[in-house]
Amino acid sequence: MDTLIVLVSIIVGAAVSLISIFIKEKLSRKTQIKIEKIKLYDKRKRLAYIKLYEFTSHCFYNYIPDSDCKTSFIQIMRHYYKEVKSNYFYFDKNIREELQKFEGQHHSIGNPDLISDVSLETFYRDNLLDIVIQINNDIEKKFDDWNKI
C-alpha cells in the first residue's frame, strides 16, 4: 500500500511538472511571437519614416518658386503617392495632418468641385516649404527618440 501511495505521488508530481513546463513554454512562445511582431512593426515604421524623409528631400530639391506651380506640385505628389502614401498610418498624428494638406491641394487640382482653402499658387509659394520643414523636424525628432533606445 505504501508503495502504491509513493508511486501515485511520483506520477502526480511528474504530471504536474510536465503540465507546468508545457504552460511555461506556451506562454514563452506567445511572448516571443509578440516580440517578433513588435520588431517587424518597428522595422516597417522606420522604413516608412525613411521614405518620408526621402520625400521631404525630394520636395526641397524640386521646389522652384518661379516655376509653374501646378506642374511642379504634381511632380512632387507623384513621388508622394509612389513612396509615402502606402505608409501613411505609420506616421504620428501631426505628420498625417500636414500630409493631408498636400493631399487636399492635390485633390483640388484634379477635381474643380473640390475647392481648397488656399489657392494652389499661394500654397506652393507660401506654405509648401513651411510644411515640409515641419515634417522634416518631426522626422528628426522621431529618429532622435529611436537613437535613445
pTM: 0.77
Containing 57, the helix (H) or strand (E) segment is helix 2-62
Per-residue pLDDT tens over the stretch 25-42: 877 788 888 888 888 889
Within a domain: 55? yes
Q: Domain tally for the chain?
A: 1
Q: Do the Cβ atoms of 92 and 143 come closer than 8 Å?
A: no
Residue 149 scores a pLDDT above 70:
no
Please tell me whether residue 67 adopts helix, strand or coil conformation: coil
| CA dihedral over 111, 116, 120, 123, signed as positive or negative | negative
Within a domain: 131? yes
Per-residue pLDDT tens over the stretch 84-140: 999 999 999 999 999 999 898 988 887 777 777 788 888 999 999 999 999 999 999
Within a domain: 29? no
Q: Of 89, 91, 74, nearest to 141 (Cα)?
A: 91
Within a domain: 57? yes
Q: Do the Cβ atoms of 101 and 131 come closer than 8 Å?
A: yes
Residue 123 buriedness (CB in 10 A; 0-12 / 13-18 / 19+): buried
Matching residue, cell 511520483: 10
Angle between helices 2-62 and 128-148 (to 10 degrees): 150
Domain extent for 56: 43-148
Of 3-7, 49-53, 115-119, 120-124, where does mean pLDDT reach its minimum?
Answer: 3-7
